[in-house]
């Protein structure tokens, strides 16, 4: 009995140490601008020669090759860059361009013009450029009301962007109802 409690104590200390180690990386709750909540770091680049191009709104060749080297496809490369503040830029691209083109070819009319979206975020740190990628939630928050004409953020994320998820939730509830019928209802012995 004594030995077991000693082992348990050691385990509690070990797990506590592990938790402290992991908890360092948890982002600040409620801070929408902290790095892990807003964007994911991808890689760093050498800043030499790229900053001028970025300031002019041109995608530098170094960034393009670096993305291609890491396996990004053609449609994932940024098409334009816009300056946010000094040393910070947004990389834009049209993620659904091909899909919109097929839709236009079939209907003749565009649902809406293909829209450029924020995709990459580039930040200058001394001699290097840090390249980040925006989290999808940033698009939902910033563009959702314009894209869906619904003012309620909870509803348009739940029913539109995460439509598959909600379909699954409805199926789960339906399954609960079926299970209750199968477990509790007895055929033939029903009242009335």
Partner 1 sequence: MTEKDWAHERDVIVETISRLMIPFIQLFALYVIIHGAGGPGGGFQGGVIIASSFVLYLVAFGLAAAGKRFPERANNYLMSTGVYIYAGVGLLCLIASLGAAQYLNYGFIPLTHMFEENRALGMDLVEIGIGITVGAVITEIFFNLVWKQDMDETEKEGQE
Interface residues with partner 1 (CB under 8 A) are 102-103, 106-107, 111-112, 146-152, 154-156, 158-160, 163-164, 166-167, 170-171, 173-174, 176-178, 180-181, 184-186, 189-192
Q: Is 92 within 8 Å of 82 (Cβ atoms)?
A: yes
Query: Minimum CB separation from partner 1 for residue 165, in Å?
Result: 10
Nearer CB in complex with partner 1: 103/138: 103
C-beta atoms surrounding 115 within 10 Å? 14
Find the shortest distance in angstroms from Cβ 144 to partner 1. 10
Rounded to whole angstroms, the Cα distance separating 71 from 134 reads 18
Q: How far is the CB of 145 from partner 1 (least distance, A)?
A: 10
Tell me the CA distances in angstroms from 66 to 21, 77, 82, 129, 138, one per residue in order: 32, 10, 19, 12, 24
Residue 102 CB, shortest distance to partner 1, in Å, is 6
Comparison of 51 and 150: residue with beta carbon closer to partner 1? 150
Nearer to partner 1, 24 or 112 (CB): 112
Which residue number, 127 or 149, has a Cβ lying nearer to partner 1? 149
**Distance separating alpha carbons of residues 154 and 131, to the nearest angstrom:** 30
If one counts every other C-beta atom within 10 angstroms of the C-beta of residue 101, the result is 12
Cβ proximity to partner 1, 69 vs 112, nearer residue: 112
Span between the terminal Cα atoms of the chain, in Å = 60
Nearest distance in Å: CB 133, partner 1: 23
* Closest CB to partner 1 among residues 76, 147: 147
CB of 191 to partner 1, least distance (A): 4
**What contacts 120, CB < 8 A, 6 or more positions away?**
42, 78, 90, 91, 93, 131, 132, 133, 134
Q: Within 10 Å of residue 85's Cβ, how many Cβ atoms?
A: 7
């Amino acid at each position: 009995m004594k030995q077991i409690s000693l082992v348990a104590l050691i385990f509690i200390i070990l797990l506590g140490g592990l938790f402290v180690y992991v908890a360092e990386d948890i982002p600040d709750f409620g801070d929408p601008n902290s790095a892990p909540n807003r964007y994911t770091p991808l890689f760093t680049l050498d800043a030499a020669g790229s900053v001028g191009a970025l300031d002019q709104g041109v995608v530098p060749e170094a960034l393009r090759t670096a993305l291609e080297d890491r396996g990004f496809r053609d449609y994932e490369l940024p098409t334009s860059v816009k300056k946010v503040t000094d040393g910070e830029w947004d990389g834009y691209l049209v993620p659904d361009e091909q899909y919109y083109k097929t839709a236009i070819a079939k209907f003749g009319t565009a649902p809406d013009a293909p829209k450029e979206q924020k995709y990459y975020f580039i930040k200058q740190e001394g001699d290097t450029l840090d390249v980040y990628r925006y989290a999808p939630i940033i698009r939902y928050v910033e563009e959702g009301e314009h894209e869906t004409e619904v003012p309620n953020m909870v509803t348009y994320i739940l029913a539109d962007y995460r439509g598959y998820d909600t379909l699954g939730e409805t199926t789960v509830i339906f399954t609960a109802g079926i299970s209750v019928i199968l477990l509790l209802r007895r055929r033939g012995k029903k009242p009335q």
